Structure 1
């Protein structure tokens, strides 16, 4: 066993994940988390006993409440959110759309949305489309290749016309961890709201949303929350904003009396009013197991191992990949759970890496992203993966 794995207090959790035959190193856990063995058992039991056994009676036996119950649990375990502010619903894209529209409506007369050019494409495309439809102006924050949004970069684009900032807690490419409380405070000083995309931080980096005064947040369920491909997203709406904001997708489940089927839409009070359609029951099952596992391990311990993994990854890159460029922060306090390294030959290497059982991610134009999910990634696995990259570059 690798000495760092032998000393790792979380190493035993790797045994709870489903193995992949022929895999040497899975370094893409920040894109799609590995499934838990417990989730296979839970989903099968759900299909046989709840869906198959109880059929439509399940809606009265807990299904209807699961989006809010699991949201509260996720909020407690990983988001620093008190009950009644997090719900599991829809995709990240749909949840972002809802909250962008709701936030803009809550700031009438303001004409500008702020977003950075290196934000995830979905976030940028949504902002551009909504701005076009509403005749608003997009104000762009220019960020460095190996960095991300900072208070110093954001402050100059804020003003009396700023309605909303849409930013990521951890940059999807560079892994830059934004100063969320400082940027949020700047936005509030300008009278604007902020919507934080937590896709690359939820479950691996603490983001105490309540303590930091965050307005709105969205995140996916299939990265560090290991809900599987297409797992539902989550949304957070600070409690004092819930009565002020009204989301635009007025589906039956977000109404005050869903089973009345009455005329006219009246939103349900609280976070339920931000739901739209039927809960994704199957899609939530695996998330339940991973939230419970993070709770068992402790988010602080998960973050400590994440830092140790990324620190070791950087040391390995410096040692065996001297021609590669680190495109992520060296300061652990400003780094999320992955690192990106650039090299002009990385695009040609990717198919050969996958053939050899090493699975990182590629980000154009020339970046390999090493996604290190703390509860399922070992130090030995990391070394094997980086070693294979070095070997192929020499060949």
Structure 2
């Protein structure tokens, strides 16, 4: 991984703040359901409502969020999002301590945290180009993705450990405080952000449509959205059945399941650390194509696994898959940031997230239906086949003829 941005003080502050935020996000995704399960003894349907509330923001506010973000400075928005997340989570232990915690309270908190996550993620991706310059986007995204990958691996374990040691409600309190700490780190960024371009006479729908036209009118971005969205659809179905496959079909213990998933997550961390090397070695556009074509079909190995040796096969497949997907993500996020005008960055990022993140819960629902119809292994097969086909989007796009960004676009 390149080290040029190590000497960029403001990027280090953004990186530190985002790292704390990412850990808070993945810890909260563990501790809020634990509170619901242990403190409120919710039913499976109620747990499903809680999960839906955590991800509903991408479908409810995904498109207008980009317009709003393009109309304001991104750093104050990120700080405000983390303050709101922190305060919202801190209400949970207070309600638990006073004996008034309820499921509607948890649903409101989960929805509020999800909305703030949407705004924070779109804002930091739109803020990065102006902070570090477009020539450092691959390095910056690789470092930020490395933090996210580590948080994704370690966050659930940290959340479970905190809940075990201090109780689930108290673990939520610590998570809320982490968001407030991140806000303090982000506030220390010294760079003066240029004011956004404003046109008070423009309607919200007009600006949303402009962002959608930019994304879907560009054949390369259209291919990236198709590939990423299809991959998330397959991933949602795969993840919905993954634990059942490991515990029932492969007969793994809870500890062994944790080891298998951790090995898969470690592949993602390694991918983030080496994504910049791949972009420099083979070219940024070519990295998108190669990583999609070589990593996403690897999931076809998973449903071949049988009890005993199968755990090794699954762990290896998930590690290779995680490695390639993270390399792909760093390359495609950097690519789309580089070719997008600053005034459209928020709308571009939000439009893409609306599609690709909106398909994730659809895939999870489809995985459950397929599991009932085809069985768990059959559902895993279906998800793996769809994943294997994702790279066709970029293979049959103009990206296959590019090595790097066209010089006129990069300029």
Q: TM-score, normalised by structure 2?
A: 0.26
Q: Which has the higher helix share?
A: 2
Q: Which has the higher strand share?
A: 1
Q: TM-score, normalised by structure 1?
A: 0.26
